[in-house]
C-alpha cells in the first residue's frame, strides 16, 4: 500500500468535474481580513477537508459556500451557476447539530422537505429511509434531548441527506461527539462517500480525522485565511480501519501536516 502524499501547487489544481468552484473569495469583517483570495474546486464523489488552526476562516469559507455568509468579493459557482444564497443543491451539517428540540427525530429529519412543501406522507417515507441509513430506526418518535450526542449528529446527517443535495457541507460535525463515536462516525462517513455519489466538503481541526477521511486536504493558514497547501493522502480505503490508523503512510501524512501547521500553534 503506497500512501505517499502528493503535493500540488494550489494554483495548478484542475479537476475533471468541478461541482463547486470557489473563485477569488475574500471576506472582511470590518477591518479584519478573514479570508484572502481563495480559489478551489471540488469534484463529485470526493471528500475534501478544509483544515487549519482556529481563526483560519475554515468555517467562514464553508458558510460562504453554503450561502449563509456573504463574501466580500469573489464568487461561488455550483454546477456552473453562480450562487448568492442557500440552494437545494447544497445541504449543511452543523457543529452543534441544530436540531429543533420541540420536534421528534422524524420531523427533524423531514424538516428540509417540510420547508419545501413536500406532502407529509412522502416526506416521512423519505425521512424514515434516511433514519434507517444512519442506524436510528426505532428512534423516530424520540425528542433530541432523549438522544446521545452521537445520535443527535446522526439525525443532523440524515436531515442533510433527506433533501438529496449534490453537495454536503459538514462543519466540524464530530467535534461535539465522544472519541469512540467519532471513530465510528468517520468510518460511516467513508461508507457514505463511497455509496452516495456526492461532493463532500468537510471542516475539521483534527489532523488525524482529516487524513483518515479525506481524498484531499486543503490546509489554510490563519489571519488572513489563505490556501497554504493541498495534500492528497493516498490511502487504501479498502484496508481495515484499524490497520489504516497504524499504517506508516497514514502516520507520515499526519506528521507532514503537523510540521506544516506547528508554527501557527501558540
Partner 1 sequence: MSVMSQEKAVTGARAGPREGLRLFAQNRKSFWVVLSLVGLFTAWEIAGRVPISFAFPTFLETLAAFFEMLGDGTMFRAFFLTLQPLVLGVGISALVGIALGIAMGLSDRVEWLLAPVFIVLQAAPMAALVPLVTFVYGIGLTAKTLAVVMLALPVIVLNSYKAVRHVNPSLVDMCRSFQGTRMQQIFKIIIPDASPVLFAGLRLGVAAGFIGVMLAELLITPTGIGDLITYHRSVANYAHMYAAVAAIIAVSTLTLAGLQYVEVNVLRPEKRRK
Give the DSSP H/E element, type plus range, for residue 40.
strand 32-43
Binding segment toward partner 1, per CB under 8 A, in 5-13, 95-103, 200-208, 224-232? 95-103
| Contact call for residues 250 and 3 (beta carbons, < 8 A) | yes
Pick between residue 171 and residue 208 the one whose CB is nearest to partner 1: 171
Under DSSP, the state recorded for 22 is E
Strands (E), 105-195: 167-171
CB of residue 186 vs partner 1: minimum separation in angstroms? 23
Q: Verify binding: residue 116, partner 1, rule CB under 8 A.
A: yes
Q: How far is the CB of 10 from partner 1 (least distance, A)?
A: 28
Q: Is 212 exposed, middle or buried, given 0-12, 13-18 or 19+ CB atoms closer than 10 A? A: buried
Among 46, 58, 90, 198, interactor with partner 1 by CB under 8 A: 90
Helical ranges in 3-148 per DSSP H = 58-66, 105-116, 120-133
Q: Are 8 and 176 in contact (CB under 8 A)?
A: no
Piece of 24-32, 94-102, 218-226, 254-262 that binds partner 1 (CB under 8 A): 94-102
In DSSP terms, 125 is beta-bridged to: none
Beta carbon nearer to partner 1, 63 or 182: 63
The correct pick among 96, 194, 236, 243 for binding partner 1 (CB under 8 A) is 96
Contacts (Cβ under 8 Å, ≥6 apart) of 46: 193, 199, 200, 215, 216
Residue 64 or 227: the one with the smaller Cβ distance to partner 1 is 64
Query: Taking CB under 8 A as the criterion, which residues in 28-67 touch partner 1?
Result: 63, 66-67
User: Judged by CB under 8 A, which of 55, 87, 150, 260 binds partner 1?
Assistant: 87
| Residue 5 DSSP symbol | P
- Which pairs from 37-40 meet CB under 8 Å and 24+ separation? 37/74, 37/226, 38/74, 38/225, 38/226, 38/227, 39/10, 39/11, 39/227, 40/13, 40/218, 40/227
Site for partner 1 in 128-157 (CB under 8 A): 143-146
Provide the minimum distance between the beta carbon of 65 and partner 1 in the complex, in angstroms, as a whole number: 11
Least distance from C-beta 61 to partner 1, angstroms?
15
Q: Which of 103, 47, 35 is nearest to 73 (CA)?
A: 35
Between the alpha carbon of residue 188 and those of residues 98, 151, 185, 194, the distances in Å are: 20, 13, 5, 10
Regarding 115 and contact with partner 1 (CB under 8 A), the answer is yes
Residue 70 engages partner 1 in binding (rule: CB under 8 A): no
Is 112 a residue that touches partner 1 (CB under 8 A)?
Answer: yes
Stretch in the footprint of partner 1 (CB under 8 A) among 97-105, 132-140, 192-200, 221-229: 97-105
Is 119 a residue that touches partner 1 (CB under 8 A)?
A: no
Would you tell me which residues interact with partner 1 (CB under 8 A)? 63, 66-68, 85-88, 90-92, 94, 96, 98, 100-102, 111-112, 114-116, 143-146, 163
Amino acid at each position: 500500500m503506497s500512501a505517499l502524499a502528493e503535493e500540488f501547487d494550489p494554483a495548478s489544481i484542475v479537476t475533471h468535474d468541478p461541482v463547486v468552484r470557489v473563485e477569488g473569495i475574500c471576506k472582511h469583517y470590518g477591518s479584519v481580513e478573514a479570508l484572502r483570495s481563495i480559489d478551489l474546486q471540488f469534484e463529485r464523489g470526493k471528500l475534501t477537508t478544509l483544515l487549519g488552526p482556529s481563526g483560519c476562516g475554515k468555517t467562514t469559507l464553508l458558510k460562504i459556500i453554503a450561502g449563509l455568509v456573504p463574501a466580500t468579493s469573489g464568487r461561488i459557482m455550483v454546477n456552473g451557476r453562480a450562487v448568492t444564497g442557500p440552494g437545494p443543491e447544497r445541504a449543511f451539517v452543523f457543529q452543534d447539530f441544530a436540531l429543533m428540540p420541540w420536534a421528534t427525530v422524524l420531523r427533524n429529519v423531514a424538516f428540509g422537505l417540510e420547508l419545501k412543501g413536500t406532502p407529509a406522507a412522502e416526506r416521512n417515507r423519505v425521512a424514515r429511509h434516511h433514519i434507517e441509513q444512519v442506524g436510528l430506526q426505532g428512534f423516530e418518535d424520540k425528542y433530541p434531548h432523549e438522544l446521545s450526542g452521537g445520535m443527535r449528529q446522526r439525525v443532523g446527517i440524515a436531515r442533510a441527506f433527506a433533501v438529496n443535495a449534490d453537495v454536503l457541507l459538514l462543519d466540524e460535525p464530530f467535534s461535539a461527539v465522544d472519541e469512540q463515536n467519532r471513530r465510528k462516525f468517520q468510518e460511516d462517513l467513508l461508507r457514505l462517500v463511497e455509496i452516495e455519489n456526492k461532493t463532500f466538503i468537510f471542516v475539521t481541526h483534527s489532523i488525524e480525522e482529516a487524513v483518515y477521511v479525506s481524498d484531499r486536504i486543503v490546509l489554510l493558514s490563519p489571519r488572513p485565511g489563505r490556501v497554504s497547501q493541498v495534500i492528497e493522502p493516498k490511502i487504501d480505503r479498502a484496508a481495515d480501519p484499524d490497520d489504516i490508523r497504524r499504517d506508516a503512510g497514514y502516520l507520515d501524512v499526519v506528521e507532514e501536516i503537523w510540521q506544516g501547521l506547528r508554527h501557527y500553534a501558540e
